[in-house]
Amino acid sequence: MHHIEFEPVGRRGSCPEGISLLDCARLLKVDIVSICGGLGSCRRCRVQVVSGAVSAPTAVDRETFADAELKQGWRLACTAFPQGDVRVLVPPESLSTPQRMQVEGLDQQIAPDPAVRIFDVQLTPPSLEDPKADDSNLWSALERDHGVASGIIDLAVLQVLSSRLRALNWRADVVLRESEIIALDAPQTRWIGLAVDIGTTKIAVYLVDMKSGEIAASSALMNPQISYGEDVVSRIHIAGESAENAAKLQALLVDALNGTIASMCDGIGSDPSHIVDAVIVANTAIHHLFLQAPVQQLGLVPYVPAVRSALDIKARDLGLKTAPGGCVHLLPNVAGYVGADHVAMLLATRIAERDGITLAIDIGTNTEICLNRHGRMKSVSCASGPAFEGAHIEFGMRAAQGAIEHVRLSGDRLEIQTIGGVAPVGICGSGLLDGIAQMLNSGVIDASGRMQDHPLVRKRNGRREFVLAQRPGESDITISQKDVRELQAAKAAIRLGIQALIDDAGITENDIDRVIIAGAFGTFIDVQSAIEIGMLPALPLERFQQVGNAAGTGARMALISKEMRRAALEIAERDGYVELACIPDFNERFAAASNLGAELQPV
């Protein structure tokens, strides 16, 4: 075993010999960015070995770092193997956390009508004359006091029934889901519900009072699966390799959720055993990884989900700690890349009920878009890639402290704004979008994306780059020609997705009455910049609405209302699916759509 220490996070511990620094970091729960999942190709897991010996630099290390940097101990964590005790510095841009989170969303008022019912019952103690069994006794009281017919009792409740009834002196709150008793505790217990939106990167968690329907607590955390790859494709690959990997990815997620939920409960003086219902939404891949359902087929043509239906699963079968017999409800998926989170977003934005023509977009590594034309809904999924999460971008990072999030360029005068107002350490998605829109406006790049001569453009190793921030003693933060190409690809994917729905509906862009932009990334982008580069259609700004984490809101609505679960089912049924892979001339269209500018170029 080696003793490994990660700074500045201050995590340390023993790690077995023969595993890489990246695996050590995973073991010690240090969230090092790894987009490729440790394959040595993304070069994002840069760390500096400040003491102790690691294996010699690899060819990839030599390509990634200058000789001077290698001498200073810089390495890719995935290909560096400790040779003894080691101390490692993880720079902010290689750390996944802390990060800006989005838990706020639409505030939809829903009359509580939950799937669970709570009854206060008073039992008559058994006697030799009437030695009724405890279960019969409980059902008699429910029937007598509340007209509830006999049903079944969850095993975990049965296992404590007799002792709890006696400890509570034969009076209790009883919680039923359909005809099953799933929890039992003291009268006037504050029963709560759990709504979770599990994103590929971020997770939003809400505790809801089941009587009032009000949010009791909310919190956000990173999806810890990120240490096995930043995008779902990497995780599908890793989970598909072995049942052990799939189990590990599932457990990572559930353990993180259990930890967060326990501390949230603590914060409101409650306990996870009082969580009597839960709704979880996620994209199809994360949904499957959470269930430990097969994912390999999601990565292969024709990209079909294992499961599309809404599900009710005992929380214990997933390892999630809630009330003894509590269930988890998962909203339905639409397709392999249009998941329950999209359904939840559509539910929260009430798009299905809208007249006119509405477009709803959830921008992310995968961008899902829905067009509702007078009640006819169609969705599309486009692989916009992780550029907006900072991946594949030379100085890219997620929206964490020190990320450049906004850029203004007038002539050669540049203004940048960072998250937290601190010295810049990299550039996040909204900053990249802004920067490229500003470069386009100022003629730093042309419509084809090619970088022109400009006071802020310089050449390094024969390639042009735009200097966003100079950092004496450190590498300057730049947008490279390659970064522009990455954004062009992302932008083309999204715009083509929108166009596919418009073509399918037989309308024009200008017919769209309203564009709803959901999701954390969408909350922070400058819509004008997105229009200027041609990612979004050039409609008047007042037609756009940025709604925050609508998927989380949809999950909460389904948590407290059976009616909303039915509505979600109907949305998933009604929502048609347009497969981009089926569109003729897709590659030519993609090339044309890569051009920057508000107008979509013809093929």
Q: Which of 68, 111, 149, 582 binds its own copies (CB under 8 A)?
A: 582
13 lies in the binding site for its own copies (CB under 8 A): no
Query: Based on CB atoms, which residue is closest to its own copies, 177 or 316?
Result: 316
- Mask for 277-296, x = binds its own copies (CB under 8 A): --------------xxxx-x
| 8 A C-beta contact, residue 393 and residue 483 | yes
Q: Which stretch binds its own copies (CB under 8 A): 101-109, 140-148, 152-160, 400-408?
A: 152-160
Q: Which stretch binds its own copies (CB under 8 A): 154-162, 421-429, 450-458, 555-563?
A: 154-162
Q: Which of 304, 422, 538, 591 binds its own copies (CB under 8 A)?
A: 304
Burial class of residue 471 (count of CB atoms within 10 Å of its CB; 0-12, 13-18, 19+): exposed
Residue linked to tokens 């486009």: 382
Query: Based on CB atoms, which residue is closest to its own copies, 293 or 447?
Result: 293
Query: Based on CB atoms, which residue is closest to its own copies, 446 or 579?
Result: 579
Question: Helix (H, G, I), strand (E, B), or coil: what is residue 150?
Answer: coil
166 lies in the binding site for its own copies (CB under 8 A): yes
Q: CB neighbours of 51 closer than 8 A, spacing ≥ 6?
A: 86, 87
Q: CB neighbours of 127 closer than 8 A, spacing ≥ 6?
A: none
Distances from the Cα of 523 to the Cαs of 255, 363, 390, 454, 598, in angstroms?
A: 29, 10, 16, 31, 20
180 lies in the binding site for its own copies (CB under 8 A): no
Number of residues that bind its own copies (CB under 8 A): 52
Q: Which stretch binds its own copies (CB under 8 A): 75-83, 159-167, 347-355, 431-439?
A: 159-167
CA distance 353 to 359: 13
CB atoms within 10 A of CB 152: 16
Of residues 306-345, which lie at the interface with its own copies (CB under 8 A)?
306-309, 311-314, 316-318, 333, 335-336
Smallest separation (angstroms) from its own copies to the CB of 292: 5
Q: Which of 80, 86, 153, 468 binds its own copies (CB under 8 A)?
A: 153
φ, ψ (nearest 5 deg) of residue 372: -110, 110
Q: CB neighbours of 317 closer than 8 A, spacing ≥ 6?
A: none
Of residues 109-138, which lie at the interface with its own copies (CB under 8 A)?
126-129, 131-137
163 lies in the binding site for its own copies (CB under 8 A): yes
569 lies in the binding site for its own copies (CB under 8 A): no
| 8 A C-beta contact, residue 436 and residue 484 | yes
Smallest separation (angstroms) from its own copies to the CB of 281: 17
181 lies in the binding site for its own copies (CB under 8 A): no
Question: Helix (H, G, I), strand (E, B), or coil: what is residue 543?
Answer: helix
Query: Based on CB atoms, which residue is closest to its own copies, 165 or 517?
Result: 165
- Amino acid occupying residue 166: R
Contacts 24+ apart (CB under 8 A), 264-267: 264/205, 264/207, 264/217, 264/219, 265/192, 265/207, 265/217, 267/217
Q: Which of 19, 27, 118, 152 binds its own copies (CB under 8 A)?
A: 152
My answer on whether omega of the bond before 324 falls inside 30° of 0, hence cis, is no
**Residue ranges that bind its own copies, judged by CB under 8 A:** 126-129, 131-137, 150, 152-153, 155-156, 158-163, 166, 291-294, 296-297, 301-309, 311-314, 316-318, 333, 335-336, 577, 579, 581-582
